[in-house]
Amino acid sequence: MALADGILRLQLSRPAKRNALDDSMMYALIDAVDAAGRDEAVRVIVLSGAGDHFCSGFDIIARNAEGAPKPRVGSLQRRLPSHANRLVPLVLSVQTPVVCAVRGWAAGIGLNLALAADFTVATNDAKFWAPFTQRGFTADSGATWMLPRRIGEVRAREMLELSRVVSGAEAAEWLMIHRAVADDELDDAVEEIVGRLAHSATVALGLTKWLQHAGAQATLDAHLRNEAFAMELSSRSEDFRIGMKALVDKTDPEFTGR
């Protein structure tokens, strides 16, 4: 984890396991994203994986290894609300934009993080996979909620029920992710987006993210009230004054993020 120039960089670093998450990584990600949403120094979050892969899912092999203590009945329903089922909604709702850089596999929780991010850029040959039914269990952390909304019900069924692996190029074509590029272009493509977000009007950007997320479940009347509330808050920001002055002066605004 590193913070510089308003950019918080979080890297999944377990390359020997294709960056499969364990409990400690999961809770560390939750804490980092939650704290970033309250940290005024953070203007954008970047999530990537060390080595050749983004994230191959949760390390269920280690959890179910021979000799590991058998959990009590109901372990999953007790654990998930503060585990994977907390992380993905947090990425969706935190008022700090999240950018994912995907190489190699994005499977299971890795797929769900890529879906939840504001912007996901992948290599053309990246592999997006919902492996749940092929392993004999059902999806968690929002896969069955996000995929139909991102790519439509027909394509979601292919991924969720037939376990179809989707390439980065296909994912971009399906509008599952923001963009797919050649491997040697990934870092530059991610940094272009990150740079724009880091120098944007942070308050207005965060409220715009909130409006889009809340609007998915709101009636029009409720959403219009939310828009009025967000406009009231954003128009009191320093960045609003900077934007208005730049408009009058016919210059590019230099937002401070406040």
Q: Is the pLDDT of residue 140 over 70?
A: yes
Q: Which residue has the higher pLDDT, 238 or 83?
A: 238
Q: Specify the DSSP class assigned to residue 239.
A: H
Taken in order 20, 110, 156, 190, is the CA torsion positive or negative?
negative
CB 255 within 8 A of CB 200: yes
Among 20-24, 97-101, 229-233, the range of highest mean pLDDT: 97-101
Strand extents, DSSP E, 28-118: 44-49, 98-102, 105-107
State the residue for tokens 């308050």: 203
Quick one: pLDDT band at residue 155, thresholds 50, 70, 90?
very high
**Rounded mean pLDDT, 74-84:** 62
Q: Is the pLDDT of residue 252 over 90?
A: no
Q: Is the pLDDT of residue 85 over 90?
A: no
pTM of the model: 0.90
**Rounded mean pLDDT, 119-136:** 93
pLDDT cut 90: percent of the chain above it:
74
CB 64 within 8 A of CB 178: no
Q: Is the pLDDT of residue 80 over 90?
A: no
User: Whole-angstrom Cα distance, residue 12 to residue 194?
Assistant: 18
User: Whole-angstrom Cα distance, residue 206 to residue 94?
Assistant: 8
Give, for 143, the enclosing helix (H) or strand (E): helix 143-151
Q: Is the pLDDT of residue 103 over 90?
A: yes
**Rounded mean pLDDT, 145-151:** 95
Domains of the chain: 2-198 (3.90.226.10), 202-249 (1.10.12)
Summarize pLDDT for 178-229 with one digit per residue, the tens.
Answer: 999 999 999 999 999 999 999 999 999 999 999 999 998 899 999 999 999 9
Mean pLDDT, the chain, integer: 91
Say if strands 166-167 and 119-123 run parallel, antiparallel, or are unpaired: unpaired
User: Whole-angstrom Cα distance, residue 229 to residue 50?
Assistant: 40
